[in-house]
Structure 1
Amino acid sequence: MIEGVKQQKWWGWGEEGKAYSHHDKPKFAPFVKRIVGVDINVSKTSVPPFSSLDVPATQLTDELRTKLEGIVGATYAQTDDETRVVHAFGKGVRDLVRVRRGELGRVPDVVVYPGDEDEVVALVNAAVEDDFVLIPFGGGSNIVAATEAVPGEPRNVVVANLGRMKSLLEIDEISGMARIQAGVFGPDMEDQLQARGWTMGHQPDSFVWSTLGGWIATRSSGMQSDKYGDISDIVRGLRMVMPGQVLTLRPLPSTSSGPSVREMVLGSEGRLGIITEAWVQVHRIPEQRELQAYFFATYADGLKACEQIAASDANVILARVSDPLETQYIMANGKASGRVGKLANKAIQKLMERKGWDLDGICMSFVGFEGSANHVRYHKGLVSKIIKANNGMGVGKGPGSLYDQKKYDTPYIRDFMLDHGLVADVSETTTPWAHALEIHTNTVAAAHKALEERGVRGVVFCHLSHSYHSGACQYFTFAIADDSEDNLVSYDAVKRAIQQSFMDNHGTVSHHHGVGEEHSPWLDQDISPAGVHMQRTLFEGIDPGNNLNPGKIIHDGKPGISSNSADA
């Protein structure tokens, strides 16, 4: 490890010593047993010791080692096995399963840690001159195989971890913009901004373990995007090192400079170069922040309310609603209530029953507000009217406060599930409002059909997470009770069913996780063969030697398997 650079554990999400536990959540084990038949009080697998892995030896040549050490320094060119394995994968469930099994694929030969843009320039130019593969790496939280070397890659594979480039460089207080290095992790960035009275407001689930450069490279979106926008709205300028040149996009509110170069960089996943810094929109820290919780009788009611909130004069930071099964999951994940809490819950249930609600069909919602006290009060009033008009009811700030405290802990549960024989993952998409309920209904049905055909139990649930004028993102979670050696076959069957349902029901391949290798097979359906041709031509024009993170976005197969079909 490099001092001052955060690194996740090799076998799972986040830091060593931190893990999900259900022992203080008395309802969770019965919930899992009921929906998938798995007893989570009994572990089925465990993480093997790192020493048990057969890590392929580095193929780094002495000549290239000397050159790389000359660029970044010997300390910042690491070839030890654990560092190389940590940088061989993202944190998708396929990554987690394979690394536990010791199926390591093409492990990088060396991990380098450039300290400034000049060193990045030298690395990119060396990749072309010496014909090696160069893969940029931020927090390693990607779940679509966007940082993995192509299987069987014969050339040297070099990963560039930008973790040393993590400073807030300047703030334009008049324009409300900040210039920040791309390797900064979310919490470090916010600490630096908030020390000067500012915030960027971008809070993806991966916030603790992802970086500004990674957000830009994958077109990230945060929980508060209803107010602050997606990363594509937030980034106003940037610098990216390309072969033989550095792209400089000045920080401007808008331009009419032909096809947008900024848009070409957003979501490019390292195929065009390495992003070193960006100008981003920042905002003064709001006076007040509040999350209110609501319940709806049905998911359709909740979707309609979010649609109306997006179209109304109400300014919210987020408007989220979970379908019935996700609502049950959220409530099962709660700690044991005290006497007052139990009485309050019983009173709410009785009120719902008097309304004629089916308690198995209720849907939880969170709506967030920021600003002055008067602003928050006014917009809460507007939202309250919309909630009531759509068969909803408010239950106060308590559940929202708990959600706020635990919002970054969710990814830890995937490791826990694997320990208990459950393969769990997520897929997200957007549709116009006219198709929001349709895609939910049909995607859940498609996932269950795939589970049935595989002969395994599983579950799929969903929440609406980001709203726009014309539509919304829905975020699907699925878990498969399969602890066999073929569990990735089951995973692929369900994942393919979900992604194909997105294509069949007016959705997109991904809303904010990116393409990587996982989603590439559906691109021609998503953006048409002509769109794929445009992207391929762009990548080949900038990187004819295929040195910059090859195999991502446009490639001829899927992770680890030679195939060009989504049905393979």
Structure 2
Amino acid sequence: MIEGVKQQKWWGWGEEGHAYSAEGKPKFAPFVLKMTGLDINAPIKPAPKFEDLTVPPSILGDELRAKLVDALGEGYVQDDDLTRVVHAFGKGVRDLMRVRRGDLGRVPDVVVYPADEAQVAAVMDAVVEADGVVIPFGGGSNIVAALEAVPGESRPVVSVNLGRLNKVLEIDEQSGLARIQAGVFGPDMEEQLQAKGWTMGHHPDSFVWSTLGGWIATRSSGMQSDKYGDIADITRGLRMVMPGQILELRPLPSTSSGPSVREMVIGSEGRLGIITEAWVNVHRIPEVREIQAYFFPDYYAGLKACEEIVHSDAKVMMARVSDAIETQYIMANGKETKSKVKKLASKGIQKLMESKKWDLEQIAMSFIGFEGSANDVRYQKGLVGKIVKKHGGFGVGSGPGALYDQKKYDTPYLRDYMLDRGLVCDVSETTTPWRHAADLHRKTTKAFNEAMERIGKRGVVFCHLSHSYHSGACQYFTFVVNDDTETAERNYDVAKRTIQQSFVDHHATISHHHGVGEEHSPWLEQDISPAGVFIQRKLFEGVDPGNNLNPGKIIHDGEPGITSNSPR
């Protein structure tokens, strides 16, 4: 461990001692039993013990180690087993399944912690000269297998943890820009910005355990991207260390300088170099911030309402609507209230739904966020309220929205809780034009349920619309498979493969904001065409002819549904 650099637990999400709990949530166990057939109150397996792992020895040579120590100092070149294992994986469900059973794959030989760009460049040049492999590491939250070395890699593998590059370096207040080091975690960055009255407004689910550089490298989106844009919109300039040189892109509003090099770097997942800092858009902290909750008679009414909101004069900060099963999950995940007022309010909402002759098994919950001056927020809420009413919905105030805002970063902990009990839980997200949004939801849900029938497993899939655009929206699917047997990873593959194939078969992309890595690369040709893959391949080969920079990511030569780490 390096002082000031946060590190996740080796076997799951987040920090040791912090975990999901179903205590005080009496509806949660019945919901899980109904949807998956699993009793979550049954005895669970004990947590894995690190001492039970067999960690492959480091193959770092003395000469390369000496160069790394000379560049960074002895304390910032670490090859103990725990540090290497923490940096061997991201936090995808396949990563968690494998590490829990001790299948460690190709563990990095050493983890280095540079303090500045000059040290990053020294590490890069030393490793490439030694014909080693360089893998950038931010918060380790990646879920698409973008952090693991290629199995069987015979060259030394160096994981470059950027956690010491964690400062907001300057703010250009007139331009609304900030220069920020790439290794800063979301909360630390916002704390520094907000101390001076600014915010970047980028809040992915992984916010607590992800970094600015990681967001850029994976083309991230945040919960508030309807207002602030995704990371490609936010990032205006950057610096990136490449073998023997440093790329510098100035923070310009727009350019016509040929094919966009900035766009080539955003989403490149370490294949082109190591991002060290970026110029990003920042905004003054809004006067008012409010999240309102609404109900619709069904998910498709909510989809149509969000489409109309985007095309109206309403400029919301976020617009999220959950399908029927996810709505039931949200309500089951709430703590039991002892407040008579809240109980009466809940009963009143149910009676209102019944009076409208709604099917309570089909209702859809929505959260819509507003930011700005008090007058502006009041105006936006009025516009949205009319649209919601037009599509059969109604508002229930800011109480549920405030609770969502408080708990929005806790969801990833639920995967560990599920795995402890034999439930494999993962997510796949995509975008499609509005014209195909409802059809994509129906057909993806149907395909998943049919796949579960074929393999004879209980499972459930649910979805929410998470980001909206002029031409379409992101739909974020969560799926769970009840399988605690030796076939669990194979059946997980069936579920994941089914959902990803449904995306490309129904006018959608393979990923909206999680990136490609190895998990999504088998579908890349279907997504961007063989010619698109050809262009990407030639870009990577031209910049990195020795295949030293995070090889095996994005471009994949196998068949759909098979990554280099899939069970054989």
Q: Same fold (TM over 0.5)?
A: yes
Q: Which residue of 1 is the match for residue 415 of structure 2?
A: 414
- The one-letter amino acid of 2:287's match is E
Does structure 2 conserve the Cα–Cα contact (< 8 Å) formed by 1:221 and 1:230? Answer: yes
Aligned ranges 1:58-73 → 2 under 5 Å: 58-73=58-73
How far 1:127 moved relative to its partner? 2.2
How far 1:44 moved relative to its partner? 3.2
Does structure 1 conserve the Cα–Cα contact (< 8 Å) formed by 2:518 and 2:564? Answer: no
Q: Which residue of 1 is the match for residue 86 of structure 2?
A: 86
121-130 or 196-205, which deviates more: 121-130
Q: Which residue of 1 is the match for residue 128 of structure 2?
A: 128
How far 1:563 moved relative to its partner? 6.8
> Quick one: percent identity of the two aligned structures?
74
Alpha-carbon distance in structure 1 between the residues aligned to 2:22 and 2:300: 31
Does structure 2 conserve the Cα–Cα contact (< 8 Å) formed by 1:423 and 1:482? Answer: yes
Q: Write the deviation string for residues 47-80 of structure 1: whole angstroms up to 9, x where unpaired.
A: 2110000111111111111111111111000000
- The one-letter amino acid of 1:489's match is R
How far 1:560 moved relative to its partner? 12
Alpha-carbon distance in structure 2 between the residues aligned to 1:328 and 1:371: 32
- SS of residue matched to 1:325: helix
Call closer, same or farther: CA 1:403–1:562 in 2, change over 3 Å: closer
Alpha-carbon distance in structure 1 between the residues aligned to 2:43 and 2:320: 33
Call closer, same or farther: CA 1:115–1:558 in 2, change over 3 Å: farther
Alpha-carbon distance in structure 1 between the residues aligned to 2:532 and 2:163: 33
Q: Which residue of 1 is the match for residue 485 of structure 2?
A: 484
2:341 paired with 1:340: yes
Call closer, same or farther: CA 1:557–1:47 in 2, change over 3 Å: farther
- The one-letter amino acid of 1:178's match is A
Q: Which residue of 2 is the match for residue 24 of structure 1?
A: 24
Question: 5+ unaligned residues in a row in structure 2: which ranges?
Answer: none
Q: Which residue of 2 is the match for residue 152 of structure 1?
A: 152
89-98 or 37-46, which deviates more: 37-46
2:362 paired with 1:355: no
Alpha-carbon distance in structure 2 between the residues aligned to 1:550 and 1:256: 31
How far 1:43 moved relative to its partner? 3.6
Question: 5+ unaligned residues in a row in structure 1: which ranges?
Answer: none
- The one-letter amino acid of 2:127's match is A
Q: Write the deviation string for residues 231-261 of structure 1: whole angstroms up to 9, x where unpaired.
A: 0000000000111110000000000000000
Alpha-carbon distance in structure 2 between the residues aligned to 1:229 and 1:427: 20
Q: Which residue of 2 is the match for residue 229 of structure 1?
A: 229
- SS of residue matched to 2:319: strand
Q: Write the deviation string for residues 187-217 of structure 1: whole angstroms up to 9, x where unpaired.
A: 0000000000000000000000000000000
Q: Which residue of 2 is the match for residue 509 of structure 1?
A: 510
- SS of residue matched to 1:410: coil
2:199 paired with 1:199: yes
- SS of residue matched to 2:160: strand
Q: Which residue of 2 is the match for residue 13 of structure 1?
A: 13
Alpha-carbon distance in structure 2 between the residues aligned to 1:375 and 1:546: 52
How far 1:555 moved relative to its partner? 2.3
Q: Write the deviation string for residues 323-355 of structure 1: whole angstroms up to 9, x where unpaired.
A: 000000000000002222111111100101111
How far 1:557 moved relative to its partner? 3.5
How far 1:567 moved relative to its partner? 13
- The one-letter amino acid of 1:125's match is D
The list of structure 1 runs, each at least 4 consecutive aligned residues, that deviate by more than 6 angstroms after superposition, is 558-564
Alpha-carbon distance in structure 2 between the residues aligned to 1:35 and 1:56: 40
- The one-letter amino acid of 2:235's match is V
Q: Write the deviation string for residues 153-194 of structure 1: whole angstroms up to 9, x where unpaired.
A: 000000000000000000000000000000000000000000
Does structure 1 conserve the Cα–Cα contact (< 8 Å) formed by 2:138 and 2:213? Answer: yes
How far 1:450 moved relative to its partner? 1.3
Call closer, same or farther: CA 1:468–1:247 in 2, change over 3 Å: same
Q: Which residue of 2 is the match for residue 331 of structure 1?
A: 331
- SS of residue matched to 2:90: coil
Alpha-carbon distance in structure 2 between the residues aligned to 1:136 and 1:23: 38
Aligned ranges 1:87-236 → 2 under 5 Å: 87-236=87-236
2:448 paired with 1:440: no
Q: Write the deviation string for residues 261-316 of structure 1: whole angstroms up to 9, x where unpaired.
A: 00000000000000000000000000110000000001110000000000010011
Does structure 1 conserve the Cα–Cα contact (< 8 Å) formed by 2:28 and 2:332? Answer: yes
Q: Normalized against structure 1, the TM-score is what?
A: 0.98
How far 1:558 moved relative to its partner? 7.8
Q: Write the deviation string for residues 364-415 of structure 1: whole angstroms up to 9, x where unpaired.
A: 0000000111010000000000000001010000100000000000000000
Alpha-carbon distance in structure 2 between the residues aligned to 1:487 and 1:547: 33
